[in-house]
Amino acid sequence: MTFVEILLTLLKGAGYTLLITFSCAATALVVGLGIAMARELGGAWLSALLSAVVYVLRGVPMLVLLFIVFFGLPGIGLDVPPLPAMMLSLGLISGAYLSEVFRGAFAEVSPNEVLAAQSMGFTRFETLRVIKLPQMIRFAVPGIVNELTTVLKFSPFAYTVGLPEITKQAMALVATTMRGIEIYAAIGLLYFGIYRLLLAAVQLIEKRYSIPGFAQE
């Protein structure tokens, strides 16, 4: 088996890796934004409750949560398929981290601008949507890229619940060919390629929405 043939076989797994990464990243973005916005709008109680949830999620090892969801929940009659199990573990944990990224980015929005919007008659929700959110997302881009990279790097755990992503394919190939160094080096290259693609996509979006003089000080 040539190196190219190995690469082509592994590419089949890349589709799953991308699917897992995007599903978990989308879950993380929704959860992270939801938590951060609820903390902005909600009162002290809601904020305290959400901070406790975030605290717990950040402390739980990803694989443990994945096993609880995938192997534990069927014990109480809840069967969760592999991909949703990844979203409920990796997606949730990543969402908790992202909510902290967003919280920090919200804090960078000038309180004067918020006050100006409220003094014009904008409600808290409108101020959040029109003034704070568009600025916060721009401040948060570096943190979002970091977290998306983490999601990609945690995607191999999906093999433990039977999803045939790149690492799973690699393990199968090594078992039949015994060419561990080449194959694992190849998947290292593939992950790096996917990472570069993600980065390029984010940079493209960032460029499209860049504002002269904003978030550059």
Partner 1 sequence: MALLEVKNLVKSYGDRNVLDGVSFELEEGEAKVVMGPSGCGKSTLLRCLNRLHEPTSGAILFDGEDVTDPGVDVRALRSRIGFVFQNFALYRHMSVLDNVALALRRLKKLPRREAEERALQELERMEMAEKRDAYPAALSGGQSQRVAIARALAMDPRVLFFDEPTSALDPIMVREVVTLINRLYLDNVTILCVTHDLNLARHISDRVVFLDRGKVYAEDRIEHLLARDADPVIDEFFGGED
Q: Does residue 67 bind partner 1 (CB under 8 A)? A: no
| Contact pick of 31, 131, 140, 194 for partner 1 (by CB under 8 A) | 131
Dihedral over alpha carbons 61, 71, 144, 105 (to 10 degrees): -70
The stretch near partner 1 (CB under 8 A) out of 36-44, 95-103, 116-124, 162-170 is 116-124
Nearer to partner 1, 86 or 140 (CB): 140
Angle at 21 between CA 15 and CA 23, to 5 degrees: 100
Q: Does residue 108 bind partner 1 (CB under 8 A)? A: no
Spell out, one character per residue from 197 to 216, where the chain touches partner 1: x when CB under 8 A holds, - when not.
Answer: --------------xxxx--
Tell me which residue of 168, 127, 117 sits closest to 15, measured CA to CA.
Answer: 168
- CB–CB of 54/27 below 8 Å? no
| Contact pick of 130, 189, 201, 204 for partner 1 (by CB under 8 A) | 130
Nearer to partner 1, 117 or 187 (CB): 117
| Contact pick of 1, 64, 116, 199 for partner 1 (by CB under 8 A) | 116
| Contact pick of 46, 126, 162, 193 for partner 1 (by CB under 8 A) | 126
Q: How many residues bind partner 1 (CB under 8 A)?
A: 22
Residue bearing tokens 């980015």: 105
Q: What is the DSSP string of 101-130?
A: HHHHHHHTS-HHHHHHHHHHT--HHHHIII
Nearer to partner 1, 29 or 117 (CB): 117
| Contact pick of 4, 45, 78, 119 for partner 1 (by CB under 8 A) | 119
Residue 131: partners with Cβ closer than 8 Å, 6 or more residues away: 109, 113, 114, 117, 122
| Contact pick of 45, 112, 176, 178 for partner 1 (by CB under 8 A) | 112
Q: How many whole angstroms separate alpha carbon 167 and alpha carbon 174?
A: 10
Nearer to partner 1, 67 or 122 (CB): 122
Q: Does residue 121 bind partner 1 (CB under 8 A)? A: yes
Dihedral over alpha carbons 120, 118, 32, 42 (to 10 degrees): -140
Answer left, alpha or beta for residue 81, where phi above 0 means left and psi between -120 and 50 means alpha: beta
